[in-house]
Chain A
Amino acid sequence: MKTDVLVIGGGPAGMSAALSASENGSKVVIVERDEILGGILNQCIHNGFGLHYFKEELTGPEFAHRFREMVEADKNITVFTSALVTKIGEKKVEVMGALGVQTIEAKAVILAMGCRERTAGNISLCGTRPAGVLTAGTVQKMVNIDGKMVGKDVVILGSGDIGLIMARRLTLEGAKVHAVLEINKTSSGLRRNIMQCLEDFNIPLLYNTTIFEVVGKDRVEGVWFGQVDENMKPIDNTKKFLKCDTVVLSVGLIPEMEMADFVTKSRVTNGAVVNEFYQTDKQWLFSCGNILHVHDLVDNVALEAKLAGKFASLYAQGKLPPRTKKIPIVAGEGFSYVLPSKVYEGAGQVEVKFRLKEKVVRKTLTAKCGANILGKRFILAGVPGEMMSLTFDKSGATGRISLEIE
């Protein structure tokens, strides 16, 4: 089988990229391992999606539904569900699905496989390994899709957004959520979620606190928990026992990059290093969505994927602007990363996305090339938990572009 653009992953990033690639004149194939399109959105039944993209507040399944309908109506897009990519080669992808193993040749390939959750093993959680230690996304799927409850007395480790959302969901389903433990001094979850998922239900959120040991033979019987010092070392005399039958982990995400481990990756995001066209160092391979960097809003995923889809489509048709001199974009003091990390010399606007290391209040963010200010933006406040962006004109840039906080 041959196509112009092959999209791996049929979540919000994959669907948006496919629609955009088709809009720009390419034949597209989406390969999705689940039975239906939508990715993680299908199990995110809470509201708060789509405020930027659709200008109205939707739930995850509704957001997915809208995109799925657009994809299904698009004659230039072929979708393979229940199909797994087993190998990515140069402009060639091996897919295992209902038709057996087949090779799809594509002029451009887009990585849109998202993330998977960090597990108990990933964070070296101490203690035994009884039933009842689950990641928040697994709990979400069991409760929202399979209609199964996971336990009665719950402790949540990590205050990421999915953990907070599941604290509320499990409470509404009749479980007692005893506490959410956060090892850091601040939560990576959105403030809105802390309020509406924890404070509304009087669920305590304990900072600088973590699980020291999981106890239980067949099923979780409880956890030893306590505070940590500034080096994240447990403080012994703060140790307390909490009886529970379920431990839910919301401790971060890992981009599913193993299939494409031949590209250059960023040490900060663990996603591919991309240029302004969302192109990796393999020219035919593009990347967008959570596999590129973890987003907090699906709206941003859809918008980013729209760009990646467009550029992949142009590349497939040989219309991507020829590469000129490469200019690196560097994140200065106070930024944890900036993406894309390179642009090509020439005219045009570029939107870069970044995260801050710490909360800043009333600062101006600038993109500079030497003393030349290419773009700037005043922000009232910015926090690490919220991805931000800055648009600037790259035509004035001749060398290294740096982002600074002033």
Chain B
Amino acid sequence: MAIKQTKTTEKNQKTQTQKLKVEKSLSQRKEIKKVSAQSAKNNVTNKTTTQTRHMICIMCPMGCSLTVKVDGENVEVTGNGCNRGVVFAKEEVTCPKRIVTTSVKTEHGVRSCKTTAPIPKNLIFDCVKEVEKLRLKDVKYGDIIIKNVLGTGVDVVVTANC
């Protein structure tokens, strides 16, 4: 996938910490990519038609207004102040993912749970429904209650003891 980056500013002004953050966010995103390969079959996104989307970057407080042009395999991002905006926009238009948190019913009341990694955004509601179906006896912190939810390769785990 080709990415054109049309604007990069204040390269000189980046502090050490900002650089570290970029590296961190990139490495985090690489991990997400691994998961995305496994869940590719569930990833229904609109890649075939040319479309323009506007979004505000959430990578830092700057909140750059991004314009994203998607044309088949090409994603062109404009309005970004730094490279993190490109990474952000690219993922948002190709394969947006979210960690889903909800609660599961047990004999002792509800217990909070989460997906262990982000899953495709379009599966959020289905994932919540899968958890809703469950009626468990008792669970504790860290218990896996659904393995490989919706074929994403991601598990749902309990996040609290009470």
- Residue positions of A touching B, CB distance < 8 A: 36, 42, 45-47, 57, 59, 61-62, 64-65, 143-147, 172-173, 191-192, 195-196, 200, 359, 361-362, 378, 380-383, 385-386
Nearest residue, chain A, Cβ from B127: A172
B61 touching A196 by the CB < 8 A rule? no
If the complex has contacts A59-B101, A144-B110, are A378 and B15 also in contact, measured as CB distance less than 8 A? yes
Nearest residue, chain B, Cβ from A361: B62
Task: Report A-chain residues with C-beta under 8 Å of the C-beta of B105.
Answer: 147
A45 touching B101 by the CB < 8 A rule? yes
Task: Report A-chain residues with C-beta under 8 Å of the C-beta of B141.
Answer: 61-62, 65
A47 touching B99 by the CB < 8 A rule? yes
Give the shortest distance, in Å, between A311 (CB) and chain B (any CB). 26
Q: CA A65 – CA B81 in complex, angstroms? A: 38
Checking A45, A65, A191 against B58 with a beta-carbon cut-off of 8 angstroms, the contacting residue is A191
Task: Report B-chain residues with C-beta under 8 Å of the C-beta of A36.
Answer: 162
Contact with A along B42-57 (1 / 0, CB 8 A): 0000000000000110
Give the shortest distance, in Å, between B3 (CB) and chain A (any CB). 21
Task: Report A-chain residues with C-beta under 8 Å of the C-beta of B63.
Answer: 191, 381, 383
Checking A146, A362, A381, A386 against B109 with a beta-carbon cut-off of 8 angstroms, the contacting residue is A146
B101 touching A62 by the CB < 8 A rule? no
| 19 residue pairs A–B, Cβ–Cβ below 8 Å | A45-B112, A47-B101, A47-B114, A59-B101, A59-B112, A59-B159, A65-B159, A65-B161, A144-B110, A145-B110, A146-B110, A191-B56, A191-B58, A195-B55, A359-B61, A380-B13, A383-B61, A385-B61, A386-B61
Task: Report A-chain residues with C-beta under 8 Å of the C-beta of B39.
Answer: none
A144 touching B103 by the CB < 8 A rule? yes
The interface residues of chain A, by DSSP majority, are classed as mixed
Q: Is B33 an interface residue (CB 8 A)?
A: no
Task: Report A-chain residues with C-beta under 8 Å of the C-beta of B13.
Answer: 362, 378, 380
- Residue positions of B touching A, CB distance < 8 A: 10, 13, 15, 18, 55-56, 58, 60-63, 81, 98-99, 101-103, 105, 109-110, 112, 114, 121, 124-125, 128, 141, 159-162
The 8 residue pairs across chains A and B that have the minimum distance between CB atoms: A61-B160, A147-B110, A381-B62, A45-B112, A192-B58, A47-B99, A381-B61, A383-B61
Nearest residue, chain A, Cβ from B125: A172
Taking A64-B160, A385-B61 as given, write out 11 further A-B residue pairs in contact, using a Cβ cutoff of 8 Å, ordered by the A residue number.
A45-B102, A45-B103, A46-B101, A57-B99, A65-B159, A65-B160, A145-B109, A147-B109, A172-B128, A191-B58, A381-B60
Give the shortest distance, in Å, between B27 (CB) and chain A (any CB). 12
If the complex has contacts A144-B112, A196-B98, A380-B18, are A62 and B160 also in contact, measured as CB distance less than 8 A? yes
Task: Report A-chain residues with C-beta under 8 Å of the C-beta of B15.
Answer: 378
Checking B81, B99, B101, B162 against A380 with a beta-carbon cut-off of 8 angstroms, the contacting residue is B81
Q: CA A380 – CA B85 in complex, angstroms? A: 14
Q: CA A72 – CA B136 in complex, angstroms? A: 28
Most central of A47, A61, A64, A173 by chain B CB within 10 Å: A61
A45 touching B98 by the CB < 8 A rule? no
Q: CA A164 – CA B43 in complex, angstroms? A: 26
B112 touching A61 by the CB < 8 A rule? yes
Give the shortest distance, in Å, between B132 (CB) and chain A (any CB). 9
Give the shortest distance, in Å, between A73 (CB) and chain B (any CB). 15
Q: CA A170 – CA B102 in complex, angstroms? A: 10
Give the shortest distance, in Å, between A373 (CB) and chain B (any CB). 17
Task: Report B-chain residues with C-beta under 8 Å of the C-beta of A173.
Answer: 128
Task: Report B-chain residues with C-beta under 8 Å of the C-beta of A144.
Answer: 103, 110, 112
Q: CA A195 – CA B56 in complex, angstroms? A: 9
B159 touching A62 by the CB < 8 A rule? yes
Nearest residue, chain B, Cβ from A377: B15
Task: Report A-chain residues with C-beta under 8 Å of the C-beta of B56.
Answer: 191, 195
Nearest residue, chain A, Cβ from B109: A147
Give the shortest distance, in Å, between A45 (CB) and chain B (any CB). 4
If the complex has contacts A172-B128, A196-B98, are A61 and B159 also in contact, measured as CB distance less than 8 A? yes
Nearest residue, chain A, Cβ from B55: A195
Give the shortest distance, in Å, between B8 (CB) and chain A (any CB). 13
Q: CA A85 – CA B14 in complex, angstroms? A: 48
Nearest residue, chain A, Cβ from B18: A380
Q: CA A144 – CA B105 in complex, angstroms? A: 11
Nearest residue, chain A, Cβ from B106: A147
Q: CA A382 – CA B103 in complex, angstroms? A: 35
Give the shortest distance, in Å, between A200 (CB) and chain B (any CB). 6
Q: CA A145 – CA B105 in complex, angstroms? A: 11
Nearest residue, chain B, Cβ from A43: B112
A59 touching B10 by the CB < 8 A rule? no
Task: Report B-chain residues with C-beta under 8 Å of the C-beta of A191.
Answer: 56, 58, 61, 63
If the complex has contacts A36-B162, A45-B159, A382-B61, are A147 and B10 also in contact, measured as CB distance less than 8 A? no
Task: Report A-chain residues with C-beta under 8 Å of the C-beta of B162.
Answer: 36
B58 touching A172 by the CB < 8 A rule? no
Task: Report B-chain residues with C-beta under 8 Å of the C-beta of A42.
Answer: 160
Q: CA A196 – CA B58 in complex, angstroms? A: 10
Nearest residue, chain A, Cβ from B110: A147
Task: Report B-chain residues with C-beta under 8 Å of the C-beta of A64.
Answer: 160
Q: CA A64 – CA B121 in complex, angstroms? A: 27
Q: CA A406 – CA B56 in complex, angstroms? A: 26
Nearest residue, chain B, Cβ from A388: B61
